[in-house]
């Protein structure tokens, strides 16, 4: 699945019903219940996942992560968009709404 | 049929079964020296440490190896001996099975006790059992699993009971250990619905291992941005 950068920034992403996740000390594990596949995120990746899953848009999630880690938003944006694309490609997140829906 | 033991070579007697084995055979079979014949190891339950010795034993003895086990191994141990040695005899079966096993292995056969094979030939898990087990591995409670899968808690317990029986385990921890053990357990692949599913879903991640997609460390506390996927099943 390919989604343009601007569309992705404005999109609201959520974990789909067939995905469960659990945060442990060293990692966050996602389980795709449709395939039985596990996927792992390091702690920062886990924090990004939580932020994206809670925020009304990816853009908002970027701000939250940048604040939390006192990191340059541009740097966070690149990493977070890459993570979102990867999760979307694997069916581990889904787009709930985009700016075009509003 | 009478089976006379072939030349034997004792490689390890970790379980102390060798004297009893020679008693059972009625004599001490000739030691073949450096090579040839059937190598014999005696193990307790084919523990990880015991099985790990096989690499060096194979160098020491390139011929077939028969393992004598003092006790019934775990499913992991059963899987290991079945895959890694040519013959296995349980201590309780020494009188009945040792000579014929040695003869069969010397003749090029592989011999696995029926009890061990039954541990390996487990019935397939149903898709729902796989889902429940997969969540058990992630430390979800029965109530959480029931909520997520939209079933009753007793339904979850029923699936777990059935799955445990098929895996030959009696606890959640034992099931998780068996499933997550890449080296010698069943491995997390047991939770896949099919190999086709996983390739279709994660076409670039066919192997059950960590894949670091992004590995950059830019600032303290902000490590590696987004390591996305390790595919553990």
Question: B196 to chain A: which residues are within 8 Å by CB?
Answer: none
Interface contact flag, A44 B148, Cβ < 8 Å: no
Partner residue facing B229 (CB), from A39, A43, A75: A39
Interface contact flag, B193 A41, Cβ < 8 Å: no
pLDDT digits (tens, 9 = 90+) for A61-91: 999 999 999 989 998 999 999 999 989 988 8
The whole-angstrom distance between B159's CA and the closest CA on chain A is 15
DSSP secondary-structure letter at B5?
P
Confidence band for A95, pLDDT divided at 50, 70 and 90: very high
CB of A41 within 8 Å of a chain B CB? The answer is yes
Cα B62 from Cα B58, distance rounded (Å): 5
The whole-angstrom distance between B185's CA and the closest CA on chain A is 17
CB of B130 within 8 Å of a chain A CB? The answer is yes
Residue B31 pLDDT > 70, yes or no?
no
Q: How many CB atoms lie within 10 A of CB B154?
A: 10
Partner residue facing B138 (CB), from A22, A34, A41: A22
User: What's the complex ipTM?
Assistant: 0.78
CB of A90 within 8 Å of a chain B CB? The answer is yes
DSSP secondary-structure letter at B230?
B
pTM: 0.58
3-state secondary structure B22-62: HHHHCCCCCECCCCCCEEEEEECCCCHHHHHCHHHHHHHCC
* pLDDT for residue A64: 95
Q: Where are the beta strands (DSSP E) in chain B?
A: 8-13, 38-43, 65-69, 87-90, 217-219, 222-223
Contact (CB, 8 A) for B3 and B95: no
The whole-angstrom distance between B113's CA and the closest CA on chain A is 32
Rounded average pLDDT over B133-144: 92
* pLDDT for residue B67: 95
Q: How many CB pairs under 8 A join A and B?
A: 120
pLDDT digits (tens, 9 = 90+) for B33-43: 555 689 999 99
Distance of alpha carbon B233 from its chain centroid, rounded?
A: 17
* pLDDT for residue B179: 81
CB of B197 within 8 Å of a chain A CB? The answer is yes
Cα B109 from Cα B85, distance rounded (Å): 11
């Amino acid at each position: 699945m390919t989604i343009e950068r601007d569309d992705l920034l404005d999109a609201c992403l959520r974990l789909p019903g067939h995905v469960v996740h659990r945060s442990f000390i060293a990692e966050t594990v996602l389980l795709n219940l449709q395939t039985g596949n596990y996927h792992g995120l390091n702690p920062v990746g886990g924090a990004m996942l939580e932020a994206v899953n809670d925020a009304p848009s990816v853009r908002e999630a970027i701000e939250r992560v940048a604040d939390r880690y006192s990191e340059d938003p541009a740097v966070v944006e690149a990493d977070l968009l890459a993570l979102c694309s990867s999760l979307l490609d694997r069916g581990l997140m889904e787009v709930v709404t985009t700016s075009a829906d509003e | 049929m009478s089976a006379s033991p072939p030349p034997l070579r004792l490689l390890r007697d970790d379980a102390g079964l060798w004297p009893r084995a020679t008693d059972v055979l009625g004599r001490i079979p000739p030691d073949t020296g450096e090579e040839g014949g059937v190598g014999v190891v005696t193990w307790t339950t084919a523990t990880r440490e015991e099985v790990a010795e096989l690499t060096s034993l194979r160098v020491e003895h390139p011929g077939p190896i028969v393992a004598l086990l003092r006790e019934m191994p775990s499913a992991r141990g059963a899987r290991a001996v079945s895959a890694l040695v040519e013959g296995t005899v349980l201590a309780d079966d020494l009188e009945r099975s040792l000579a014929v096993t040695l003869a069969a292995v010397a003749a090029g056969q592989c011999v696995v006790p029926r009890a061990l094979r039954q541990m390996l030939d487990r019935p397939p898990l149903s898709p729902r059992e796989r889902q429940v087990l997969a969540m058990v591995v992630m430390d979800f409670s029965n109530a959480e699993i029931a909520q997520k899968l939209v079933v009753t808690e007793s339904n979850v317990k029923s699936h777990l009971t059935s799955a445990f029986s098929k895996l030959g385990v009696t606890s959640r921890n034992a099931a998780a250990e068996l499933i997550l053990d890449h080296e010698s357990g069943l491995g997390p692949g047991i939770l896949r619905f099919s190999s086709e599913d996983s390739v279709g879903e994660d076409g670039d991640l066919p192997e059950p291992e960590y894949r670091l997609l992004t590995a950059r460390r830019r600032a303290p506390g902000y490590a590696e941005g987004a390591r996305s996927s390790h595919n553990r099943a």
